[in-house]
């Protein structure tokens, strides 16, 4: 049976906003999008539900998160002024204190929060990607789960690479049409050059999407360009030899073949003119995480330049350990305001980044992030749900008409 949903606004994203708009749903798919008068005329026998003074928008896309770290909300705030100490405490807690059950619960909790914030698709990076994949599948979201790989020590490249391939094999056995497998060499300070090259070749040969943290902190820049600072000291203390690239992070990733994979790069704060050219020429994508960048004091990525250069950019919350919320609408608002130091980035531009552009960053262009005829019902959320505060569950507002997640049928 066809259902028509009316609202004061319908925002298809791929086309102009429609005031007093409607969408018609037939089974699991959108049958039509347009003005209420037109849609009601096309489907005269359809049942109608009116969301009144709301907006119907596509499911939001979170291009960069770590759902497994949801349990660490607020846990690392004492270390925020020292990125190395922050990473060390996170890693120790993750490896020494969290059991597999803890990680599974943490990831599922994060996925539930994301859905409540209107997010229907995620790019999730995890060392326990199998658990994250199960969590995302159980909650009914769509996305890519990137299995992380670590390894600063060139002597251990073969061992680390075998571990990555083994984990990818496990993921591929349980991946589905909705949740796909990707790989993620963690960061330039945690993966050595030879391991980056192997992983880049592997991504290309296996057609695996690749995500990586890049150009995030001053400490990383100092390490990659000059071979000094807290990351260099950390490796020296572990008797690990490291060859300093002596260039920017983006040029380092280009030299090691990572940019050939058209990667999704999280952060990209410390990028110069040559780096922007490299991003554009290689069709690399950016997961822009303005709140995480600000909370950890890393600085501000040039969102306006990404948009103006035609570089694909989506929004990411990063983990709630460096954000406190997983809320892409809030991220979009923050992104627009911060970017106005460069130019008047519009609400429409960041909303595009939060939806259709984010979908393209995850290889989901044409599938989610827009309201078009033939698209899956899973791509629609009630705007009211987006106003709920993730992490502050308010059951008095539950059941307010979310059309996302499991209620949305099979597609
Ligand atoms: Zn991250």
Token pair recorded at residue 123 = 């790019």
Cα-to-centroid distance, 391 and ligand 1 (Å): 19
Cα-to-centroid distance, 66 and ligand 1 (Å): 6
The pLDDT value recorded for residue 54 is 85
Cα-to-centroid distance, 400 and ligand 1 (Å): 32
pLDDT along the chain (411 residues), means of 10: 92 94 89 95 94 89 95 87 88 87 92 91 96 94 96 96 98 95 97 98 98 97 96 94 96 98 98 98 98 94 97 96 90 95 94 96 91 71 39 36 31 22
The pLDDT value recorded for residue 378 is 57
Cα-to-centroid distance, 141 and ligand 1 (Å): 19
Residue-range domains of the chain with CATH: 2-58+371-408 (2.30.40.10), 60-361 (3.20.20.140)
Cα-to-centroid distance, 55 and ligand 1 (Å): 31
The pLDDT value recorded for residue 401 is 33
The pLDDT value recorded for residue 392 is 32
Distance CA 51, CA 37 (A): 15
Instruction: Answer for the pair 218, 267: CB distance below 8 angstroms, yes or no.
Output: no
Cα-to-centroid distance, 71 and ligand 1 (Å): 15
The pLDDT value recorded for residue 84 is 87
Cα-to-centroid distance, 321 and ligand 1 (Å): 10
Cα-to-centroid distance, 2 and ligand 1 (Å): 41
Cα-to-centroid distance, 298 and ligand 1 (Å): 13
The pLDDT value recorded for residue 388 is 32
The pLDDT value recorded for residue 377 is 61
Cα-to-centroid distance, 37 and ligand 1 (Å): 45
The pLDDT value recorded for residue 112 is 92
The pLDDT value recorded for residue 404 is 34
């Amino acid at each position: 049976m066809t259902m028509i949903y009316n609202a004061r606004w319908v925002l298809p994203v791929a086309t102009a906003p429609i005031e007093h708009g409607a969408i018609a749903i037939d089974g699991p798919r959108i049958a039509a999008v347009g003005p209420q008068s037109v849609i009601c005329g096309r489907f005269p026998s359809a049942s109608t539900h009116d969301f009144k003074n709301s907006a119907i928008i596509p499911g939001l896309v979170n291009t960069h998160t770590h759902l497994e770290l949801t349990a660490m909300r607020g846990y690392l705030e004492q270390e925020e002024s020292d990125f190395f100490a922050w990473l060390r405490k996170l890693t120790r807690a993750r490896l020494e204190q969290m059991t597999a059950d803890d990680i599974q619960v943490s990831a599922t909790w994060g996925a539930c929060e994301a859905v409540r914030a209107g997010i229907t698709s995620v790019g999730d990076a995890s060392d326990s990607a199998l658990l994250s994949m199960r969590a995302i599948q159980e909650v009914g979201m769509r996305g890519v789960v990137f299995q992380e790989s670590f390894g600063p020590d060139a002597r251990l490249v073969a061992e680390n690479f075998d571990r990555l391939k083994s984990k990818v094999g496990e993921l591929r056995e349980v991946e589905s049409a909705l949740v796909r497998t990707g790989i993620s060499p963690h960061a330039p300070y945690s993966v050595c050059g030879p391991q980056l090259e192997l992983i880049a070749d592997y991504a290309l040969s296996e057609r695996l999407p690749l995500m990586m943290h890049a150009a995030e902190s001053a400490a990383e820049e100092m390490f990659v360009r000059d071979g000094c600072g807290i990351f260099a000291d950390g490796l020296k203390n572990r008797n690990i030899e490291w060859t300093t690239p002596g260039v920017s992070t983006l040029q380092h990733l280009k030299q090691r073949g990572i940019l050939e994979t058209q990667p999704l790069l999280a952060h990209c704060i410390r990028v110069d003119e040559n780096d922007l050219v490299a991003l554009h020429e290689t069709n690399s994508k950016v997961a822009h995480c303005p709140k995480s960048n600000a909370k950890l004091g890393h600085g501000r990525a040039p969102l306006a330049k990404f948009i103006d250069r035609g570089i694909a950019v989506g929004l990411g919350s990063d983990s709630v350990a460096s954000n406190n919320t997983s809320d892409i609408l809030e991220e979009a608002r923050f992104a627009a305001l911060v970017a106005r130091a460069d130019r008047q980035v519009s609400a429409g531009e960041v909303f595009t980044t939060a939806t259709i552009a984010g979908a393209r960053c995850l290889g989901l262009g044409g599938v989610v992030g827009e309201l078009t005829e033939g698209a899956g019902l899973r791509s629609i959320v009630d705007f009211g749900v987006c106003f709920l505060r993730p992490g502050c569950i308010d059951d008095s507002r539950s059941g307010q008409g979310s059309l996302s997640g499991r209620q949305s049928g099979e597609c």
